[in-house]
Chain A
Amino acid sequence: MIPDTPHTPDTFDVSGVPAVLRVQDLVVAYGQHRAVDGVGFRIAPGESYAVVGESGCGKTTLARTVLGLLRPAAGEVALEGVRLDQARGRDLRALRQRVQIVFQNPFAALNPRMTVARLVDEPLRLAQPDLTAAARAEAVSALLTSVGLADRFLGRRPHELSGGQCQRVAIARALAMDPVLLVLDEPTSALDVSVQAQVLNLLADLRQHRGLAYLLISHDLGVVRRLADRIGVMRAGRLVEEGPTQQVLHEPAADYTRALIAAVPGRGRAALMGGPEAGDEAGSGAAGGPAPGDGARADPSAKPAPAPASGAAAVPASELSAPSSIGSSQ
């Protein structure tokens, strides 16, 4: 159930349906460094929203904040109209069940000693403590069926599964919590092309049949094209462009978006050499202009990135982590 925290009025769209996720003026900082710096967007029920951008731009920080694992320095995160950033204790735990995450590396996300049956049973127990053992066994089997795994997988352990099968188990675990929002953090980038296709088709199906909303994080625009209704393009902690997938991909407004699209390989050698320079500034970097990519750590005199500062504003709130959340210990 949704905890008893007041709704904020502007979480509703015109039809009166609250957004599944509303993020507004969000700032998340590690010490002085604002990894997310004034981000806002909404995800409607059943909608799939992709955040694209390069490494270090703040995607994972954003995801962890949406999961209630990091406290924002400023701004709001509301789930189904309820302020996640203000929730505490039991309310927070209940809210956090509504958002589940599927990580990039399916092996790391699964306890190697557990069987598939136990891996799926574990979150189910937390989500529905009143179910009988028989009812749970039935539910486990149904969940596995919904991700395309037959009962013969029940007794297997992660090392006896392929990457795609592991990712299916991770998805089944997430579904066991009956979330409204699934955060997919590079869900297929560790998978082979043919396995990726299976998982992408599964994710498209699940959304259709369960009305799940997705927050997809990816650097692969082909994957985004498949799974997302809308795209937010993130750069250095900010959204530089947002819009419907087709529009952003075919009529990008921001230079940075254009550079990302131009960098997608596969159009042949002529296109590779003929396309717009994707902000080539390999030299000493920091050439001033907003060129993507290589400038990130281009100053050789720069010190290595600071270690997670203790007392940083973004509290990696371990006391907030319910064991229910898949991989929250990551």
Chain B
Amino acid sequence: MTLLTVEDLTIDFPRPGGRSGGATRPVRGVTLTVEPGQTLGVVGETGCGKTLTGLAVLGLLPPAAQARGSIRLDGRELLGAPPSQLRAVRGGAIAMVFQNPATAFDPVRPLRTQFERVIRRHRGGSREQARARAAELLAEVELHDTDRVLGSYPHQLSGGMLQRAMIALALSCEPRLVIADEATSALDVTVAQQVRRLLLRLQHAHGFGVLFVTHNLGEARDLCDRVAVLYAGEVVETGPVEDVFTAPAHPYTKALLAAVPTVDDDGAPLASLPGEVPADVLAVTGCVFANRCRQAADLCRSTPPPARTLPGGRSALCHFADPEVAA
């Protein structure tokens, strides 16, 4: 059975707030699934709605947000569920790993206190048992000097160590789904690589599914089974990660991949994507990407494209979706 199903999720901010010109409907009809033990990457540029989608699954949207659609974990509806139930889900079946691990820990207490609290809440037991479990968890994330780590305050650990500790804390509730949002973005490149490897190893060992939010396309390729590309609040393309990366079907995915500078490229000018997301996406009559799309035709400007199903478990939101082997 599908682990997580997000169906036609729409998020409104009825009173405009946030950044100037901010969308009042930053997530529009997002549909995603995560299978048990699999990783779905959610990628796209600033403001496309990645974080809000993850927060909606966690039941952690800002109070002003209004979400509709359906979010089901193991078939059970989470959207609109009472806060107490959502809290239980967050400390149980769903765990989260965020960009800034420092904010996950209380700055004025040693890590031990927090581990004990979370572990005892989840499985009860004595303080000693919780400590032993904390040490086990830290060993699993390859933090070996567990006594010293547990005795440390967050500021005494490097970013990489803290991110490992946050992952250990996430594991403590034996989650079935981990939501990671830019989990490596604040880390140095080699440390980020270590954390990616760790996540994969843990996933093999424990079989949890992952909703992996990142702006880093390379990272998505390395970690994910499937990927969903968001643009202006919509999923514009989804499919198995290698297929999407080697033969993108949506013009936006094509443009995004062509804009990434790589270590092995030939130095020819990068294909850049001119223009911007329309200030008011709700005012757009046709395809929201039409103002930047090289393939835009009259049809695109008048009629919003349907989500077209393509062979191989893929789909793209485009009148002319056509998987094309990237140059």
A268 at the interface (CB under 8 A from B): yes
Complex interface: stretch among A32-40, A98-106, A193-201: A193-201
> Which of chain A's residues has its CB closest to B145's CB?
A284
A94 at the interface (CB under 8 A from B): no
Complex interface: stretch among B96-104, B121-129, B270-278, B299-307: B270-278
B85 at the interface (CB under 8 A from A): no
User: How many residues of chain B have a CB within 8 Å of chain A?
Assistant: 55
Give the residues in chain A near B216, CB-CB below 8 Å.
265
Give the residues in chain A near B190, CB-CB below 8 Å.
54, 259-260, 263, 278-279, 292-294
Is B188 touching A55 in the complex (CB atoms < 8 A)? yes
Within 8 A of A (CB), among B292-319: none
Q: What separation, in Å, do the CA atoms of A200 and B255 have in the docked complex? A: 15
> Which of chain A's residues has its CB closest to B164's CB?
A282
In the complex, per-residue mask of B246-281: 1 if CB is within 8 Å of any chain A CB, else 0:
000000000110011111110101111110100000
Q: What separation, in Å, do the CA atoms of A193 and B273 have in the docked complex? A: 9
Contact of A268 among B141, B222, B263 (CB under 8 A): B222
Is A283 touching B194 in the complex (CB atoms < 8 A)? no
Give the residues in chain B near A159, CB-CB below 8 Å.
20
Complex interface: stretch among B55-63, B150-158, B172-180: B150-158
Is B158 touching A297 in the complex (CB atoms < 8 A)? yes
A211 at the interface (CB under 8 A from B): no
Give the residues in chain A near B269, CB-CB below 8 Å.
201, 204
Interface contacts beyond A265-B192, A294-B190: sample of 7 additional A-B pairs, CB < 8 Å, sorted by A: A54-B188, A159-B20, A222-B260, A226-B261, A271-B222, A293-B191, A294-B160
Is B261 touching A282 in the complex (CB atoms < 8 A)? no
Contact of A278 among B148, B194, B255, B273 (CB under 8 A): B194
Give the residues in chain A near B65, CB-CB below 8 Å.
none
B22 at the interface (CB under 8 A from A): no
Q: How far is the CB of B120 from chain A (nearest CB, A)?
A: 23
Give the residues in chain B near A265, CB-CB below 8 Å.
192-193, 196, 216, 218-219, 221-222
Is B189 touching A225 in the complex (CB atoms < 8 A)? no
B118 at the interface (CB under 8 A from A): no
A288 at the interface (CB under 8 A from B): no
A285 at the interface (CB under 8 A from B): yes
Q: What separation, in Å, do the CA atoms of A54 and B186 have in the docked complex? A: 12
Within 8 A of A (CB), among B181-212: 188-194, 196-197, 200
> Which of chain B's residues has its CB closest to A298's CB?
B158
B144 at the interface (CB under 8 A from A): yes
Complex interface: stretch among A61-69, A74-82, A120-128, A299-307: A299-307
Is A304 touching B188 in the complex (CB atoms < 8 A)? no
Instruction: Give the 4 A-B CB pairs with smallest separation, nearest first.
Output: A266-B218, A283-B144, A300-B152, A265-B218
> Which of chain A's residues has its CB closest to B214's CB?
A265
Is B157 touching A297 in the complex (CB atoms < 8 A)? yes
Give the residues in chain B near A283, CB-CB below 8 Å.
142-145
A207 at the interface (CB under 8 A from B): no
Q: What separation, in Å, do the CA atoms of A65 and B282 have in the docked complex? A: 50
A142 at the interface (CB under 8 A from B): no
A-B pair count, CB < 8 Å, reads: 169
In the complex, per-residue mask of A232-269: 1 if CB is within 8 Å of any chain B CB, else 0:
00000000000000000100000000011111111111
> Which of chain A's residues has its CB closest to B224's CB?
A269
Q: What separation, in Å, do the CA atoms of A280 and B141 have in the docked complex? A: 12
Contact of A226 among B142, B222, B270, B272 (CB under 8 A): B270
Give the residues in chain B near A266, CB-CB below 8 Å.
217-219, 221-222, 260, 262
Within 8 A of A (CB), among B15-39: 20
Q: Given A264-B189, A273-B197, A278-B190, are A194 and B259 also a contact pair (CB < 8 Å)? A: yes
> Which of chain B's residues has its CB closest to A194's CB?
B273
Q: What separation, in Å, do the CA atoms of A283 and B158 have in the docked complex? A: 11
B149 at the interface (CB under 8 A from A): yes
Contact of B155 among A196, A226, A304 (CB under 8 A): A304
Is A300 touching B156 in the complex (CB atoms < 8 A)? yes
Give the residues in chain A near B272, CB-CB below 8 Å.
194-195, 197-198, 201
> Which of chain A's residues has its CB closest to B265's CB?
A225
Q: What separation, in Å, do the CA atoms of A249 and B145 have in the docked complex? A: 35
> Which of chain A's residues has its CB closest to B160's CB?
A294
A219 at the interface (CB under 8 A from B): yes
Contact of A197 among B144, B222, B270 (CB under 8 A): B270
Give the residues in chain B near A271, CB-CB below 8 Å.
222
Is B256 touching A219 in the complex (CB atoms < 8 A)? no
A162 at the interface (CB under 8 A from B): yes
Is B193 touching A278 in the complex (CB atoms < 8 A)? yes
Q: What separation, in Å, do the CA atoms of A265 and B267 have in the docked complex? A: 19
Instruction: Please name 19 pairs of A and B residues whose Cβ atoms are closer than 8 Å in the assembled complex, sorted by A.
Output: A159-B20, A194-B256, A194-B272, A259-B190, A261-B263, A265-B193, A266-B221, A266-B260, A266-B262, A269-B200, A269-B221, A273-B197, A282-B143, A282-B144, A283-B143, A284-B148, A285-B161, A294-B161, A296-B158
Q: What separation, in Å, do the CA atoms of A324 and B56 have in the docked complex? A: 47
Q: What separation, in Å, do the CA atoms of A200 and B161 have in the docked complex? A: 33
> Which of chain B's residues has its CB closest to A305's CB?
B155
Is B160 touching A162 in the complex (CB atoms < 8 A)? no
B106 at the interface (CB under 8 A from A): no
Within 8 A of A (CB), among B221-239: 221-223
B77 at the interface (CB under 8 A from A): no
Q: What separation, in Å, do the CA atoms of A209 and B271 have in the docked complex? A: 20
In the complex, per-residue mask of A178-216: 1 if CB is within 8 Å of any chain B CB, else 0:
000000000000001111111011001000000000000
Q: What separation, in Å, do the CA atoms of A323 and B36 have in the docked complex? A: 58
Give the residues in chain B near A223, CB-CB below 8 Å.
261
A17 at the interface (CB under 8 A from B): no
B84 at the interface (CB under 8 A from A): no
